[in-house]
């Protein structure tokens, strides 16, 4: 598995989550939702496709930082697949991190990890399928906290 570390300001693609969802059984944490300090999650599958799966974890070591790791695995034929985690601050501004697999690279999975400062209000994740630089299908957005 190839690991990529990105800076907090890195933007791996221009997709923006288009919907929100409530916390589901896909996410687990070590404390209640309001005071979660760490947890793991599964990125929701794209309905009708068996091409991409994603998962990850987060740790909130303080009230001002969160470390997010997100991984993606290509499970079917596509030019590229990815998973994205978006961290929000209390004003609604966001920073993102993504894990991407491009078929031509020979890799079938990828992970990224970053610590965001002052972006601890919300964390949302989603998967997508890409084709030559364009996102052609996006899965549902999962709100982790």
Which residues, in sequence order, are CB contacts of 40 under 8 Å at separation 6+? 27, 28, 29, 55, 56, 57, 58
pLDDT more than 90, % of the chain: 66
pLDDT at 2: 35
- Given a contact cutoff of 8 angstroms between Cβ atoms, the answer to whether 43 and 83 are in contact is yes
Q: Which residue has the higher pLDDT, 6 or 95?
A: 95
pLDDT tens digits, 97-131: 999 998 866 678 999 999 999 999 999 999 999 99
For residues 105 and 108, give the distance between their C-alpha atoms in angstroms, rounded to a whole number.
9
From first CA to last CA, the distance across the chain in angstroms is: 27
Strands 52-62 and 38-43: antiparallel
Smallest CA-to-CA distance from 84 within 34, 116, 44 is with 44
Place of tokens 């059984």: 25
User: What are the extents of the domains in the chain?
Assistant: 2-143
What is the pLDDT confidence band of residue 20, given thresholds at 50, 70 and 90?
very low
pLDDT at 63 over 80: yes
Task: Specify the pTM.
Answer: 0.75
């Amino acid at each position: 598995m190839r690991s990529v570390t990105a800076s907090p300001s890195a933007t791996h693609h221009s997709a923006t989550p288009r919907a929100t969802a409530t916390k589901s059984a896909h996410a687990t944490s070590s404390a209640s939702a309001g005071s979660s300090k760490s947890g793991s999650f599964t990125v929701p599958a794209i309905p009708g496709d068996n091409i991409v799966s994603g998962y990850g974890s987060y740790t909130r070591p303080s009230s001002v930082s969160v470390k997010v790791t997100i991984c993606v695995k290509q499970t079917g034929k596509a030019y590229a697949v990815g998973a994205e985690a978006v961290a929000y601050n209390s004003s609604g501004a966001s920073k993102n991190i993504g894990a991407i697999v491009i078929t031509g690279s020979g890799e079938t999975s990828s992970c990224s990890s970053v610590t965001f400062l002052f972006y601890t209000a919300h964390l949302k994740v989603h998967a997508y399928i890409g084709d030559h630089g364009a996102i052609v299908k996006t899965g549902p957005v999962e709100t982790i906290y």
